[in-house]
Amino acid sequence: MTTVKTLNTFPELGLIPQLLARLSELEYLQPTPIQAHVIPSILEGRDLIAGANTGSGKTAAFALPILQQLDADTKAQSKNGNYVSRLILVPTRELAKQVADSIKSYAVHFNGAYKTVSVFGGVSTNKQMLALRGGTDILVATPGRLLDLISSNAIKLDMVKTLVLDEADRMLSLGFTDELAALLKLMPTKKQTLLFSATFPEAVTTLTTSLLNNPIEVQLQSADESTLVQRVFMANKGEKTALLAYLIQQHKWRKALIFVNAKRHCDHLAQKLAKRGITAEVFHGDKGQGARNRVLDAFKSGEIEVLIATDIAARGLDIEKLPVVINFDLPRSPADYMHRIGRSGRAGEVGLAISMIDQEDFHHFKVIEKKNKFSLEREEVEGFELHEPFNESKVDKPMAKPAGTGKKKRKKQSQINADIWLNRG
Ligand code: AMP
């Protein structure tokens, strides 16, 4: 894969005036690296595999050429009543709505010529069925709900000309493999396929080999140091919350997204921060759609200083210019670490990714560093000095057990990592 750094101008990418006018209204001064690299290839009709995080500008990277292609071919295409012309599959309902909103915004100068609909689970199907009536030019969907709608004959996929798999790694890790396979069978083989993924685990690689035809491959640096600063703070056991509150207040962080690993930790941490004078809200799957939207709006407007979320709930949240992402609990997998920090330093903004580690996180953070090929200096904060230095042997003991073959050893090691993780307070 190539590493991309080139920046061009939007007119140089071959975009049409309706789109250029909108980009200048949105004050997108220049394409982000992913946009500069993929837009011309998508316009040429090539398949694509792109390694890009949320925040890289990937939505516009596929949405702009898709709108341009629609504009070029819409008159020529004969359509049946429940057609879909361009299909974008996403892992979560938040992402479905955000992608559809972005597309509608990019399309304003086409004067409503192209219908964009988003469908996702967790809400009634009736409104969505109604919205799909008469066909849809661009459909943004989560896989499960799309299958439901197909089985009720609300939509057919046999006219799909472009398929986008957005956040493919997350889609597969959320268990949508079977749904995806079922959906692919319902689409024409001849179509353009664009796959975006932050990471490339085996499941994604397998999918790309079977699905893509001579694709262009683009890999962006996911945590480019010029836009993202990563820091690690050490805390004594039981002092993480106090240290977090101190850091937030000391640095006057606003719009900080804090990650924890369990829904119940969200509420717990929010209460503890509230006691220390910090307005924090939680964002997790137990909240209804309306409540989630309200929290998100309040966070975006700055009314809420701090949002506490689990990985699953936060996935796909589009929060512009997020200045700080904090790993209060470390993510279980090194790939999730990259997903989380990818929410900061977006589209050229400078962002900050903080990890808070205590003795129990010590080894796990090293694994995260090793897998993601970076190494960070551990910082101590005045007033929160460690009572004793971190001691790797405390957590390493179970891993010293003899294991069999190299393969078995790796499996055992990951299992032990998971156990250590699950046993955390
Ligand atoms: P995405 O990675 O698609 O979630 O986009 C991240 C954010 O960057 C969104 O809020 C976009 O509105 C914004 N954005 C995308 N492309 C550009 C650009 N070329 N210039 C400025 N902002 C952009």
Give the N- to C-terminal CA distance of the chain in Å, as an integer: 41
Query: Would you tell me how many other CB atoms lie within 10 Å of the CB of residue 270?
Result: 20
What is d(CA 141, CA 157) in angstroms, rounded to the nearest whole number? 12
User: Which helix (H) or strand (E) element contains residue 101?
Assistant: helix 93-106
Among 30, 32, 35, 321, which is best to mutate for testing ligand 1, by the most ligand atoms less than 8 A from CB?
A: 32
CA proximity to 355, closest of 191, 250, 244: 244
For residue 310 and ligand 1, the question of a CB distance below 6 A is answered with no
Contact 351, 324 (CB under 8 A): yes
The alpha carbon of 56 and the centre of ligand 1 are apart by a number of angstroms equal to 7
What is d(CA 15, CA 67) in angstroms, rounded to the nearest whole number? 10
pTM value > 0.85: no
Q: Dihedral through CA 21, CA 23, CA 28, CA 31, nearest 10? A: -110
pLDDT at residue number 407: 37
For residue 57 and ligand 1, the question of a CB distance below 6 A is answered with yes
The alpha carbon of 293 and the centre of ligand 1 are apart by a number of angstroms equal to 20
CA proximity to 28, closest of 99, 101, 105: 105
Contact 176, 95 (CB under 8 A): no
What is d(CA 183, CA 172) in angstroms, rounded to the nearest whole number? 14
Structure confidence by residue, pLDDT tens digits, 106-160:
999 999 899 999 999 999 999 999 999 999 999 999 999 999 999 999 999 999 9
CA proximity to 282, closest of 316, 252, 310: 310
For residue 98 and ligand 1, the question of a CB distance below 6 A is answered with no
Among 318, 322, 325, 350, which is best to mutate for testing ligand 1, by the most ligand atoms less than 8 A from CB?
A: 318
What is d(CA 156, CA 44) in angstroms, rounded to the nearest whole number? 26
Which stretches of the chain score pLDDT less than 70? 1-8, 74-80, 220-227, 316-321, 345-350, 392-425
Structure confidence by residue, pLDDT tens digits, 185-220:
999 999 999 999 988 888 898 888 889 999 998 876
Q: Between the CA of residue 182 and those of 144, 150, 209, what are the distances in Å?
A: 10, 11, 17
**Residue identifier of the C-alpha nearest atom 21 of ligand 1:** 28
- The conformation of residue 330, written as its DSSP 8-state character, comes to P
Among 4, 28, 56, 196, which is best to mutate for testing ligand 1, by the most ligand atoms less than 8 A from CB?
A: 28
pLDDT at residue number 394: 57
Residue whose token pair is 């137990």: 286
Contact residues for 270 (Cβ-Cβ < 8 A; gap 6+): 280, 281, 282, 308
CA proximity to 345, closest of 122, 130, 54: 54
